[in-house]
Structure 1
Amino acid sequence: MSLPRIAIDAMGGDEGVRVMIEGAALARRDHDSFNFLLVGDGQRIEAALDNHPNLRAASEILHCDDVVGGDELPSKAIRRAKTTSMGLAVNAVKTGDAGAAVSAGNTGALMAMSKLALRTMPGIDRPALAAIMPTLQAHDVVMLDLGANTEADARNLVQYAVMGAAYSRIVTGFDKPVVRLLNIGTEEIKGTEELRDAAAMLTAASLGGTLALQFDGFVESDKINRGETHVVVTDGFSGNIALKAIEGSARFVTDLLRQAFTSSLRSKIGFLVSRPATELLKHHLDPNNHNGAVFLGLNGVVVKSHGSATAKGVAHAVAVTARLLENKLTERIAHDLSQLGEETLRKNGRGASSKDSETPA
């Protein structure tokens, strides 16, 4: 069965057309149900497709030579939403020409364009950026928000928890994912008023059995990758800092091992002996194997690929996108929100959401 086609912003990312087309081709090679709308410079896309006849047969090209710059302000980029490859890819989801969009371009611009074109789902005040990260266990952990909004009140955090759990059920297979709020300690008295209020709301909803999740209090940042939780919820400011700290630590460990194994002849011999273990570590820490952050809470699926992703990373982002379409992510979120109910949010919330922020991740 063919899935709704996926719109690819072929011009986004550090290397643009070459990597985006190669990534789509890799994904298509593994999944012959994938179909694509390739948005960007038609001549360059046609040239790249010469090496990928299988992808060409499953693709349509939408020509566009206007591109959103990597450091362009979202407020400026959004004015060109109707002329840029990123904007046209997102608009294809709005019009139904595609079921989802994938871009490796400017995160802030993609968030702004997606929110304007697709709007937030009923019951969601703000969308959130969610990504999957490796853990010590067999399953990954979903974390959100990673930069879509710098601030979040209790109501926002509860909505993030519901959306993150729906996403986690798709990528981990757990019927009731364990959800925790990121905090400076695990004690109930720790953290901001917003965190404590959100914890109280989620505890009440969990005890009532209305949510398809298990709320288990707070988690500290050093436990995110332990595998003890399936979903970590936080505001975009803290989430983005935590994400980049984790990515930086992974690169530090990889570089440290590389230096250690090349420092002497004995070290090089030791590397050969331990190569199976180091290759496993490299695979586990490779961000391309977890590429593809999702804007949750929109009336449509939009996935952000890392700008420096390789073709393998782009293929992973495309595969994540297809999985979300196949498992009807937006419908799942809508159903779970209906189970939560507006009464719970009104009873426990402490006012309206704080101001939106355009902060690229």
Structure 2
Amino acid sequence: MPSPLTISLDAMGGDAGPEMVIPGAAVALKRRPDLRFILYGQSEAVEPLLARYPDLVAASRFVHCEISVRMDDKPSQALRLGRWKSSMWRCVQAVRDGEADVAVSAGNTGALMAMSKFCLRTLPDIDRPAIAAMWPTLRGESVVLDVGATIGSDAKMLVHFAVMGAAMARALFGLERPTVGLLNIGAEEVKGVEEVREAGHILRAIDHPNFEYYGFVEGDDLGKGTVDVVVTEGFSGNIALKTAEGTARQLAEYLRSAMTRTLSAKIGYFFARSAFARLREKMDPRKVNGGLFLGLNGLVVKSHGGTDSEGFAAAIELGRDMVLGSLTSKIANDLEYTLGSMRKQFAEQTAAQAQTA
């Protein structure tokens, strides 16, 4: 049996707080017995729930915290008032101090990002971290980033997102050289804003040994699974994510309504119920719950605040997989190669300009 892997949990995070986090940790432990947990939260809310799960108690350590960050707190306010004392801060701090391998929280996204950046700091040459999400496709799954951490990105940041997303795909999917595409309004090289076009030129020139730059991809390529990694900035990425989630709920409601409208429809559903069950499982957002903060000196997973125990367990397992895949070291090594290639490109361009001057 592999050595235990320790995950720190913000037990107070999310819409339901401990009532979702504690059962979710129990589900994850049942599926992954190699896990160990450090739970941070308010004792009066956590300990009565924790006592219901003896196996989780045996595999966990609980730490009382005076403060819990509210879902509507502003990031600056949460950072100012919740530092040192909040369950969210202590959860991230455990990763910084080497007590945990990865932190998982379903709490306030802005506050979690602010605390993670302040506590863990970013990797060299990374200006802003990105949130990477799993995206179900016709081919399986893809990585999409950024889905909300950074509003507006220059070409350099998009290149960094591509490198980090590719490293995540290597760690998660076991791919030696995943394909990477830049989300754009068309596949032609002349389309799109200047930052995206420039990022495309840089990525093509780098010819990175650990991923293949595919080119531009469009919105419908997200569902097709045209590439393993789709790169965009946080504004458009978050809109795409929320649109996909809403569309999935809309289709589910259409199917439910159609299957109960008439007697013949109900009979048809009876005979096709196994197929519909598989469809529901495929469209279940809980299966891909969890956004990974990329670009930090440590691993942090953001779970959807409104998920249930199954969804939170999926976020925990995502964190586990990233630890086992040595994601942080992969990103650091790939960024070092990329930075060297970009410096070489700049030197060559400067020399060429000097010759023509």
Q: Paired residue for 1:133? A: 135
**Counterpart code for 2:223:** N
1:4 deviates by 3.7
TM (norm. structure 1) is 0.93
**Counterpart code for 1:320:** L
**CA contact 1:3–1:326 (8 Å) conserved in 2:** no
Which residues in structure 2 correspond to 1:96-115 (within 5 Å)? Answer: 96-115=98-117
* 1:37 and 2:38 correspond: yes
* 1:322 and 2:323 correspond: no
**CA contact 1:294–1:303 (8 Å) conserved in 2:** yes
Q: Paired residue for 1:20? A: 21
1:44 deviates by 2.6
**CA contact 1:303–1:317 (8 Å) conserved in 2:** yes
Out of 271, 274, 287, which is 1:273 matched to? Answer: 271
Query: Closer, same or farther in 2 for the Cα pair 1:65/1:263, shift >3 Å?
Result: farther
Query: What CA distance in whole angstroms lies between the structure 2 residues aligned with 1:345 and 1:41?
Result: 49
Give the 4+ runs in structure 1 shifted more than 2 A. 1-4, 345-349
**CA contact 1:155–1:345 (8 Å) conserved in 2:** no
**CA contact 1:149–1:236 (8 Å) conserved in 2:** yes
Question: Could you list the runs of 5+ residues in structure 2 that have no partner in the other structure?
Answer: 348-357
Q: Paired residue for 1:356? A: none
Listed one character per residue, the Cα deviations across residues 1-34 of structure 1 (whole Å, up to 9, x for unaligned) are 2244111000111111021011111111111110
Q: Paired residue for 2:256? A: 258
Listed one character per residue, the Cα deviations across residues 188-233 of structure 1 (whole Å, up to 9, x for unaligned) are 0000110011000000111xxx331110101111110102210000
1:345 deviates by 5.5
Listed one character per residue, the Cα deviations across residues 269-326 of structure 1 (whole Å, up to 9, x for unaligned) are 1111221121111111111000111000100000001111111111111111111111
**Counterpart code for 1:122:** P
Secondary structure class of the residue paired with 1:39: strand
Could you say which structure has the greater relative contact order, defined with CA pairs below 8 angstroms and 6 or more residues apart? 1
Q: Paired residue for 2:12? A: 11
Which residues in structure 2 correspond to 1:67-146 (within 5 Å)? Answer: 67-79=68-80, 80-137=82-139, 139-146=140-147
Query: Closer, same or farther in 2 for the Cα pair 1:346/1:129, shift >3 Å?
Result: farther
Query: What CA distance in whole angstroms lies between the structure 1 residues aligned with 2:83 and 2:215?
Result: 41
Query: What CA distance in whole angstroms lies between the structure 1 residues aligned with 2:70 and 2:32?
Result: 31
Q: Kindly, what percent of the aligned residue pairs are identical?
A: 47
Listed one character per residue, the Cα deviations across residues 41-61 of structure 1 (whole Å, up to 9, x for unaligned) are 123322112221111111000
Query: What CA distance in whole angstroms lies between the structure 2 residues aligned with 1:76 and 1:310?
Result: 27
1:142 deviates by 0.2
Q: Paired residue for 1:296? A: 294
Secondary structure class of the residue paired with 2:35: coil
TM (norm. structure 2) is 0.94
**CA contact 1:181–1:218 (8 Å) conserved in 2:** yes
Q: What is the aligned-residue RMSD (CA, Å)?
A: 1.4
**CA contact 1:183–1:219 (8 Å) conserved in 2:** yes
Out of 292, 305, 309, which is 1:307 matched to? Answer: 305
Which residues in structure 2 correspond to 1:49-68 (within 5 Å)? Answer: 49-68=50-69
1:340 deviates by 1.6
* 1:226 and 2:224 correspond: yes
Secondary structure class of the residue paired with 1:5: strand
**Counterpart code for 2:54:** P
